[in-house]
C-alpha cells in the first residue's frame, strides 16, 4: 500500500504560514513522542527559514519513557532541545513560556537595552494533523478556543490566541508533506492516527503495527489480547496474520460461519494501540531512523 495524502487546504496552509513569518518570533513544533522523526514534517525547516524553534514531544504519556529518553538525547546531539509533554492531562504552559524566553533571550535583551518594554512573544504552532496542536492551544489559553478532535484535519484556518500577557499563538492547520519518500514513515503515521482512516487499507496498517509490537512489545500483546503464543520470526507473514486472527476471534470480530473479519480485527488493534490500552508504546527508535533532522 502506498500512502499519499495532501489535501488542498494543506497547500494553502503552507502559503499562509510563509506569509505570516515576518510577524513570528519563534515556532513551536509539535511532534508525536511515539514517532518523533516520522511526525516531523521535513518541509517545516524550509518553510520556517531558521526561525528560533521549540520542539515539543506531545503524547509522551502514550510513549515508552525509555524510548523518549533516547529521543531527547538524539535531538540534543543535533542541537535541538526536545521537551516531552502531555497536552491533555499535563499543564505545560509555564514551562513552554519559560523555554520560549530562553530561545528569544537575545531579542528580548536587545529590546531592553533600547529601553523598550518587550512585547508579548509571537509564536507559531506547527505540526502534522492529529498531533495535538488544538488541545495544547486550549490548555495554554485556559479556555476552549481551537477545535479539537481525535482525527486529523480538524483545524482548517488560522487564528491568533492570547496566552496571558506574555505570548500570542498562531494556530495553523496540520501539514503533511506531499510524498512520503519512505513508506515506513507513512505506515507509522497511519498506525498512530495521523492519516484519515477513510483512505487507508486498515489490514495493512494493522499488520505493520502487529509486526512491530511482536518484535518490541510482545508482552503487551499477551496481556491485552490474551494471545498465548507469538511467532519468533516476524518475517513469517502468515504467523503474524494468525495473531491478528486470534485477536479477532477473542474480540468477536466474526462473520457468518465463524470466520474472522480481519478488517474489524484490524480496527480493534489500531484503536487500542492509539488509545494506549496496550501500554506505553513507541513505534520508532533512533537507531531505526531513516529520516534525518
Residue 142 has pLDDT above 90, yes or no: no
Distance from C-alpha of 66 to C-alpha of 286, rounded to nearest angstrom:
12
Residues 228 and 91 reside in one and the same domain: no
Sequence-separated contacts (24+) of 185-191 with Cβ below 8 Å: 185/37, 185/38, 185/290, 185/291, 186/2, 186/3, 186/4, 187/3, 188/35, 188/38, 188/39, 188/283, 188/284, 189/3, 189/35, 189/38, 189/39, 189/128, 190/3, 191/270, 191/273, 191/274, 191/283
Calculate mean pLDDT across residues 177-200. Answer: 77
Cα distances (Å, whole numbers) of residue 121 to 54, 80, 102, 115, 273: 13, 20, 12, 17, 37
| Distance, C-alpha 179 to centroid of its chain | 17
Phi/psi for 54 (5° steps) reads -115, 125
pLDDT at residue 149 greater than cutoff 70: no
- Mean pLDDT, to the nearest integer, of 94-102? 93
Q: What HEC string does 114-137 produce?
A: CCCCCCCEEEEEEECCCCCHHHHH
CATH code, 59: 3.40.50.300
Residue 49 or 33, more confident: 33
Count: domains in the chain: 2
pLDDT of res. 200 = 72
Q: What is the mean pLDDT of residues 192-198?
A: 79
CA separation for the pair 152, 51 (Å, rounded): 26
pLDDT tens track for 170-181? 876 666 555 566
Q: Which domain holds residue 212?
A: 201-288
* pLDDT tens by residue, 208-217: 999 999 999 9
Co-location of 31 and 136 in the same domain: yes
Are 32 and 58 in contact by the 8 Å Cβ rule? The answer is yes
What's 252's domain CATH number?
A: 1.10.1580.10
CA separation for the pair 152, 150 (Å, rounded): 7
Residue 136 has pLDDT above 50, yes or no: yes
Q: Is residue 264 part of a domain?
A: yes
Instruction: Show which of 171, 191, 211 is a domain's final residue.
Output: 171
pLDDT (mean) for 105-114: 87
CB count within 10 Å of CB 184 equals: 16
Cα distance between residue 277 and residue 10, in whole Å: 31
Residue that is last in its domain, among 171, 189, 211: 171
Verify that 138 and 239 share a domain, yes or no: no
Boundary of a domain, candidates 125, 152, 171: 171
Q: Enumerate helices (H) and strands (E) in the chain, giving the number of each.
A: 11, 6
d(CA 281, CA 163): 32
272 C-beta neighbours (distance < 10 Å), count: 16
The reply to whether 76 and 141 lie within a common domain is yes
Task: Answer yes or no: do 100 and 212 share one domain.
Answer: no
Residues 165 and 236 in one domain: no
Q: Binning pLDDT at 50, 70 and 90, where does residue 291 land?
A: very low
Cα-to-chain-centroid distance, residue 74: 17
Instruction: Please tell me whether residues 57 and 131 are part of one structural domain.
Output: yes
Amino acid at each position: 500500500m502506498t500512502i499519499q495524502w495532501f489535501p488542498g487546504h494543506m497547500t494553502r496552509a503552507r502559503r499562509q504560514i510563509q506569509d505570516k513569518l515576518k510577524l513570528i518570533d519563534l515556532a513551536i513544533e509539535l511532534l508525536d513522542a511515539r514517532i518523533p522523526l516520522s511526525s516531523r514534517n521535513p518541509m517545516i525547516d524550509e518553510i520556517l527559514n531558521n526561525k528560533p524553534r521549540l520542539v515539543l514531544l506531545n503524547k509522551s504519556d502514550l510513549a515508552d519513557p525509555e524510548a523518549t529518553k533516547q529521543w531527547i538525547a538524539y535531538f540534543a546531539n543535533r542541537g535541538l532541545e526536545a521537551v516531552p509533554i502531555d497536552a491533555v492531562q499535563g499543564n505545560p504552559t509555564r514551562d513552554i513560556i519559560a523555554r520560549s524566553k530562553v530561545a528569544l533571550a537575545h531579542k528580548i535583551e536587545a529590546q531592553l537595552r533600547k529601553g523598550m518594554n518587550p512585547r508579548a512573544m509571537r509564536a507559531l504552532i506547527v505540526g502534522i494533523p492529529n498531533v495535538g496542536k488544538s488541545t495544547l492551544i486550549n490548555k495554554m489559553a485556559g479556555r476552549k478556543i481551537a477545535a479539537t478532535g481525535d482525527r486529523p484535519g480538524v483545524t482548517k484556518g488560522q487564528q491568533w490566541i492570547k496566552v496571558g500577557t506574555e505570548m500570542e499563538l498562531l494556530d495553523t492547520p496540520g501539514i503533511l508533506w506531499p510524498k512520503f519518500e519512505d513508506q515506513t514513515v507513512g505506515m507509522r503515521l497511519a498506525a498512530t492516527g495521523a492519516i484519515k482512516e477513510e483512505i487507508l487499507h486498515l489490514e495493512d496498517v494493522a499488520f505493520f503495527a502487529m509486526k512491530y509490537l511482536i518484535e518490541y512489545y510482545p508482552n503487551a500483546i499477551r496481556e491485552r489480547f490474551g494471545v498465548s503464543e507469538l511467532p519468533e520470526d516476524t518475517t513469517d507473514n502468515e504467523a503474524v496474520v494468525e495473531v491478528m486472527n486470534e485477536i479477532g476471534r477473542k474480540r468477536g470480530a466474526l462473520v457468518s460461519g465463524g470466520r474472522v473479519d480481519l478488517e474489524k480485527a484490524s480496527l480493534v488493534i489500531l484503536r487500542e494501540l492509539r488509545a494506549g490500552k496496550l501500554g506505553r508504546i513507541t513505534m520508532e527508535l533512533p537507531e531505526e531512523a531513516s529520516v534525518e533532522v
